[in-house]
Structure 1
Amino acid sequence: MQFGVFSVGDVTPDPLTHRAPTEHERIQAMVRIALKAEEVGLDVFATGEHHNPPFVPSSPTTLLGYIAARTRRLVLSTATTLVTTNDPVKIAEDYAMLQHLAEGRMDLMLGRGNTGPVYPWFGKDIRQGIDLALENYALLHRLWREDVVDWEGRFRTPLQSFTATPRPLDGIPPFVWHGSIRSREIAEQAAYYGDGFFANNIFWPKEHFQRLIRIYRLRFAHYGHGDPDQAVVGLGGQVFMRPNSQDAVREFRPYFDNAPVYGHGPSLEEFMAETPLTVGSPQQVIDRTLAFREYFGDYQRQLFLMDHAGLPLASVLEQLDILGEEVVPVLRAEFAAGRPDRVPDAPTHASLLARAAEEPDPT
Structure 2
Amino acid sequence: MQFGIFSVGDVTPDPTTGRTPSEHERIAATVAIAQKAEEVGLDVFATGEHHNPPFVPSSPTTLLGYLAGRTERLILSTSTTLITTNDPVKIAEDFSVLQHLSEGRVDIMLGRGNTGPVYPWFGKDIRAAVSLTVENYELLRALWDEPIVDWSGKYRTPLQGFTLAPRPLDDVAPFVWHAAIRTPEIAELAAYYGDGFFANHIFWPASHTERMIALYRQRFAHYGHGTAEQAVVGLGGQVFMRPNSQDAVEEFRPYFDNAPVYGHGPSLEEFTAQTPLTVGSPQEVIDRTLGFRDYVGDYQRQLFLVDHAGLPLKTVLEQLDLLGAEVIPVLRKEFAVGRGDEVPDAPTHASQVAAARSRAGADEDAR
Larger mean CA deviation between 125-134 and 338-347 belongs to: 338-347
Q: Deviations over 1:97-154 (max 9, x none)?
A: 1111010001010001121111000000000000000000000001000010000000
Larger mean CA deviation between 353-362 and 15-24 belongs to: 353-362
Superposed, 1:214-225 pairs within 5 Å as: 214-225=214-225
Superposed, 1:144-155 pairs within 5 Å as: 144-155=144-155
Q: Please give the alpha-carbon distance, in whole angstroms, between the structure 1 residues aligned to 2:81 and 2:132.
A: 13
Superposed, 1:1-363 pairs within 5 Å as: 1-361=1-361, 362=363
Instruction: Report the 3-state secondary structure (helix = DSSP H, G, I; strand = E; otherwise coil) of the residue aligned with 1:319.
Output: helix
Instruction: Report the 3-state secondary structure (helix = DSSP H, G, I; strand = E; otherwise coil) of the residue aligned with 2:198.
Output: strand
Shift of residue 360, structure 1, vs aligned partner: 3.5
Q: Please give the alpha-carbon distance, in whole angstroms, between the structure 1 residues aligned to 2:332 and 2:136.
A: 36
Shift of residue 346, structure 1, vs aligned partner: 1.2
Q: Please give the alpha-carbon distance, in whole angstroms, between the structure 1 residues aligned to 2:30 and 2:10.
A: 10
What is the TM-score with the length of structure 2 in the denominator?
0.98
Q: Please give the alpha-carbon distance, in whole angstroms, between the structure 1 residues aligned to 2:204 and 2:274.
A: 7
- The amino acid of 1:197's aligned partner reads F
Instruction: Report the 3-state secondary structure (helix = DSSP H, G, I; strand = E; otherwise coil) of the residue aligned with 2:291.
Output: helix
Shift of residue 164, structure 1, vs aligned partner: 1.4
Instruction: Report the 3-state secondary structure (helix = DSSP H, G, I; strand = E; otherwise coil) of the residue aligned with 2:174.
Output: coil
Q: Please give the alpha-carbon distance, in whole angstroms, between the structure 2 residues aligned to 1:179 and 1:359.
A: 27
Instruction: Report the 3-state secondary structure (helix = DSSP H, G, I; strand = E; otherwise coil) of the residue aligned with 1:144.
Output: helix
Q: Please give the alpha-carbon distance, in whole angstroms, between the structure 1 residues aligned to 2:83 and 2:359.
A: 30
- The amino acid of 1:112's aligned partner reads R
Shift of residue 356, structure 1, vs aligned partner: 1.5
* CA root-mean-square deviation: 0.7
Q: Deviations over 1:16-75 (max 9, x none)?
A: 110110000000000000000000000000000000000000000100010010111000
Q: Deviations over 1:203-246 (max 9, x none)?
A: 01011111111010000001111000110000000000011100
Instruction: Report the 3-state secondary structure (helix = DSSP H, G, I; strand = E; otherwise coil) of the residue aligned with 1:66.
Output: helix
Q: Please give the alpha-carbon distance, in whole angstroms, between the structure 2 residues aligned to 1:97 and 1:113.
A: 24
Q: Please give the alpha-carbon distance, in whole angstroms, between the structure 1 residues aligned to 2:208 and 2:337.
A: 27
What is the TM-score with the length of structure 1 in the denominator?
0.99
Q: Please give the alpha-carbon distance, in whole angstroms, between the structure 2 residues aligned to 1:325 and 1:95.
A: 32
- The amino acid of 2:164's aligned partner reads A
Q: Deviations over 1:169-207 (max 9, x none)?
A: 001000000000111110000000000000001001011
Segments of structure 2 that go 5 or more residues without pairing to the other structure are none
Q: Please give the alpha-carbon distance, in whole angstroms, between the structure 2 residues aligned to 1:97 and 1:144.
A: 12
Segments of structure 1 that go 5 or more residues without pairing to the other structure are none
